Amino acid sequence: MPVLLAGGEGRSWRCGSAVLKRVDDAEQFLWSASVLSQLTTSSSIIVPRPVASSSGRWVVDGWTCTEYVDAHPHAGRWRDILAAGRTFHACLTGIARPGWMDSADDWWRHGDAVAWDGRAPVGPEPYLALLGRLLAFVRPVDLPSQVVHGDLCGNVLFDHAGRPVVIDFSPYWRPVEWASAIVAVDAFEWEGAGFEALTWLDNIDPSRQLLVRAALYRIATSAEVALAHGIDNRKLTIHAATVDTLAQLIT
């Protein structure tokens, strides 16, 4: 009998040795499946492979299939998540930017465009005020872009041997260390990592700009969600604390 898995937006079901998940963007998954099915990965991480249907298709009636790996979240292993992300991104080096990114249209892509492409943010006024403060800190970032996983913090699990398992690939075309900065911001905001999380990239230039753009991405996405569904005051308060802390770091 299928078992609903934690995470996966409530759409992932384990069926024996496979995970079935319904997706909204079939084009994105088709591309991801093509990449991951052929990707040569390091032995230090596990990347579950997509599984094709009996007819050879990656998506059937909106459903996808991926190998199941017995792995679970492990609180506090943020530096291992950062390392796993860097290893995974090294494996993705050389993958061309996919054309579907030009037409992708959702809250997360809008947030990414606010952070990097000058898109005007939209949302309730309290969110726009926070975003305005962050946008005042934006400076050019001279780093190469490549395909990266933009949502690592909740999507690196650990198997029984402690090896990282990278799941739910969320592709973006950005600098590798921006993905690391998102881990830092997520850990600071939602996982109790504290101020130290915002120092994890101190050896990366320009760490502050990457953190600002990671926070812009997350908060601009939350702003669009709030516009559609109403303000979550707890989330707004947490985002405000992030902006206050980054302002102290930068000024």
Looking at residue 6, its pLDDT comes to 79
Helices (H), the chain: 26-38, 78-92, 107-116, 125-135, 176-190, 207-229, 233-250
Whole-angstrom distance, CA of residue 131 vs CA of residue 165: 33
Among 19, 45, 71, identify where a domain stops. Answer: 71
Looking at residue 3, its pLDDT comes to 84
Q: For all residues of the chain together, what is the average pLDDT?
A: 95
65 and 143 part of one domain: no
59 and 104 part of one domain: no
Are residues 78 and 183 in contact, defined by beta-carbon separation less than 8 angstroms?
A: yes
Helices and strands (H and E) in the chain: how many: 7, 10
93 pLDDT higher than 90: yes
Among 71, 94, 112, identify where a domain stops. Answer: 71
Are residues 149 and 166 in contact, defined by beta-carbon separation less than 8 angstroms?
A: yes
Looking at residue 248, its pLDDT comes to 96
159 and 57 part of one domain: no
Looking at residue 11, its pLDDT comes to 80
134 and 14 part of one domain: no
102 and 150 part of one domain: yes
Whole-angstrom distance, CA of residue 78 vs CA of residue 187: 8
Closest by CA to 17, choosing from 71, 73, 70, is: 70
Model confidence at 24, in pLDDT bands (50, 70, 90)? confident
Looking at residue 5, its pLDDT comes to 84
What is the Cα gyration radius of the chain? 18
Looking at residue 8, its pLDDT comes to 61
148 and 219 part of one domain: yes
10 pLDDT higher than 90: no
Q: Which residue has the higher pLDDT, 234 or 10?
A: 234
62 and 133 part of one domain: no
7 pLDDT higher than 80: no
Q: Which residues contact 218 (CB under 8 A, 6 or more apart)?
A: 111, 182, 185, 186, 189, 239
Looking at residue 147, its pLDDT comes to 98
DSSP 35: H
65 and 77 part of one domain: no
Q: How many domains would you assign to the chain?
A: 2
The mean per-residue pLDDT over the stretch 116-130 comes to 98
Residue that the structure tokens 């969320």 belong to: 170
Model confidence at 107, in pLDDT bands (50, 70, 90)? very high
Q: Which residue has the higher pLDDT, 1 or 228?
A: 228
59 and 81 part of one domain: no
CATH number of the structural domain spanning residue 229: 3.90.1200.10
Q: Which amino acid is at 63?
A: W
The mean per-residue pLDDT over the stretch 198-215 comes to 96
Instruction: Provide the domain limits for residue 62.
Output: 3-71
| Strand, coil or helix: 65 | strand
Are residues 67 and 48 in contact, defined by beta-carbon separation less than 8 angstroms?
A: yes
243 and 189 part of one domain: yes
209 and 232 part of one domain: yes
5 φ, ψ to 5°? Answer: -95, 150
213 and 107 part of one domain: yes
The mean per-residue pLDDT over the stretch 57-78 comes to 95
Among 32, 48, 71, identify where a domain stops. Answer: 71
